[in-house]
Structure 1
Amino acid sequence: MDDDKSSASISSALLSLQDKVLRKMAVPQYVLTTSVYPREAEILKELRDAIANHPQSYSATAPDGGQFIALPLKLLNAKKTIEVGVFTGYSPLLTALQSRKMARSAIGLSFIKKANIEHKINFVKSQALPVLDKLLENQENESSFNFAFVNAYGANLKNYHERLLRLVRARGVIMYDNTLWGSTVTLSGPSSVDLTRVFAWKDTIKFNKMMVGNPRVDIPQVPPGDDG
């Protein structure tokens, strides 16, 4: 009798756990279908469809992440933005669609041309640090940007941040992708991290700790699109 009760209790616990896992997995899809996809610009949908079969499509800015990026752009009425790093061009395309004036970005230009917003983008194909340093040579660029988005990872995050603090005005927004590094920041050590990700794992954790200890910035950290 006791064994039967024990088995029933275990089965009930497993079913409850399974239900919680399934519901948790269903939440992102619910958010996408309910509030993200219906408001996603058609040109962004086309770009997302175009890269769907790319072997590294998981690295692209997720549409819910894009919606999150769009909010401060609207609240700031951002007229001058800067982006460091790009893969498919989803985020700079979104930024250019939202911004009133210009986005300085590296991007695949075909969708930009199709959207007739090429005039909003100053495309710079280069390593990021020399470009940021060049901008800072002109004092007029200091505190002139409303918004910055960094789609990068690794040891240079700290260097990008110090330069962007000078370029982005007070009460502006600097947004970083990849700060959860595909959820691997929760793992106990490098031996637990996939070999393809371990090279930036320590740098990501160091950067997060640096940001927490920086009194010059306020930090909300959220996980939209962090499934890659």
Structure 2
Amino acid sequence: MSNLTTELDHRLQAYLRSVSLREPSLYQRLREETARLPEHNFQIAPEQGQFLALLVELMGARRILEIGSFTGYSALWMAGAMPEDGRMLCCDVNSAWTGIARRYWNEAGLGDRIELRLAPAMDTLDGLLADGACGTFDLAFIDADKANYVHYYRRCLRLVRQGGLICLDNTLWSGRVADPDDHAPETEAIRAFNALVHEDPAVTLSLVPIGDGLTLVRKR
């Protein structure tokens, strides 16, 4: 028994996946193709994808917003867990990465559920707000440039419904947020977000130590 979170070494990580992970072979193929890219570390861990899918199922989420889709792995998990009438809107700026995503989304039979907007996410979010989309999303997943986390969060807080969920990746930032000597701009941006949401009375909060840290924010 312990009152501290168990640290995962490689052996325990492998055991966790062996008794928990149910990754479809198509998802695994996408993960393996992405692993050959120089930016492969942008992709979430498979157990984190499965956790996001569980959240979608628990919420019965039908409208999902994703900011930062990379090669589409997290979107596969979430869109695959939606009901058939569910729809997902993905925001990214890289056509090469999302070209890979589209291939796998279509192969999974999810292409008609996922709309991809290739544009700066801030423009897409502001456009949604201007079009009256406040309170229309069940869940938002933010995994993009860290400098804009606070801005993305504030907009998503308006776009998700009451009781909706915002999930933000990389909020432990490989432990660098706890290093007092690390003042890199991205580290400071994540610290600023973590401090902001910790004091936000409009939400319920939990930072889950899965992957690189996943913050869950429920709009009250």
TM tier, shorter chain? 0.7 to 0.9
The TM-score with structure 2 as length reference comes to 0.84
Between the aligned partners of 2:88 and 2:144, the Cα distance in structure 1 is 17
Distance 1:118 1:25 in 2: 35
**Amino acid corresponding to residue 42 of structure 1 in structure 2:** S
2:187 corresponding residue in structure 1 = 201
What is residue 12 of structure 1 aligned with on the other side?
none
How big is each residue's C-alpha offset from its partner over 1:120-166, in whole Å with a ceiling of 9 and x where there is no partner? 01110010111001111122x21111100001242311111111111
Structure 1 residue 190: deviation in Å? 2.0
Alpha-carbon separation, structure 1, partners of 2:131 and 2:39: 37
Aligned identity (percent) is: 31
Shift of 1:187: 1.1
Using the alignment, how far apart are the partners of 1:215 and 1:28 within structure 2?
35
| 8 A contact 2:54–2:81 mirrored in 1 | no
Q: Is the 8 A contact 1:96 1:117 kept in 2?
A: yes
SS at match of 1:172: strand
Structural mapping, 1:92-111, within 5 Å? 92-100=75-83, 101-106=86-91, 107=98, 108-111=101-104
Unmatched 5+ residue regions in structure 1? 1-19, 192-197
1:158-173 paired onto structure 2 within 5 Å:
158-173=150-165
Match of 1:33 in 2: 18
Count matched residues.
198
* Superposed displacement of residue 40, structure 1: 1.2
TM-score (norm 1): 0.81
Deviation at 1:52, TM superposition (A): 2.1
- What SS does structure 1 have at the residue aligned with 2:119? coil
Task: Measure how far apart 1:222 and its partner are.
Answer: 1.4
Quote how far apart the aligned CAs of 1:26 are.
2.3
Measured after TM superposition, the shift of residue 173 of structure 1 is 0.7
1:156-180 alpha-carbon deviations (Å, 9 max, x no partner) = 1111111111110011110000111
Identify the residue that residue 128 of structure 1 maps to in structure 2: 121
2:194 is the alignment partner of 1:211: no
Q: 1:90 maps to what in 2?
A: 73
Aligned with 1:138 (options 131, 141, 156): 131
Distance in 1 (CA, whole Å) between partners of 2:125 and 2:212 is 27
**1:153·1:178 contact (CA, 8 Å) conserved in 2?**
no
Shift of 1:25: 4.0
CA deviations over 1:29-87 (Å, ceiling 9, x no partner) = 21112211xx1122211111212222222220110111221121001111110001122
**3-state secondary structure, aligned to 2:105:** helix
What secondary structure sits across from 2:203 in the alignment? coil
Aligned to 1:3: none
Of Structure 1 and Structure 2, the greater helix share is in 1
Counterpart for residue 143 of structure 2: 151
Aligned pairs (5 A) from 1:50-129: 50-100=33-83, 101-106=86-91, 107=98, 108-129=101-122
Task: Give the root-mean-square deviation of aligned CA atoms.
Answer: 1.9
Compare CA radii of gyration and give the structure with the larger one: 1
Question: Which residue is 1:195 aligned to?
Answer: none
* Residue in structure 1 matched with residue 95 of structure 2 by the alignment: none
Bigger mean CA offset, 123-132 vs 46-55: 46-55
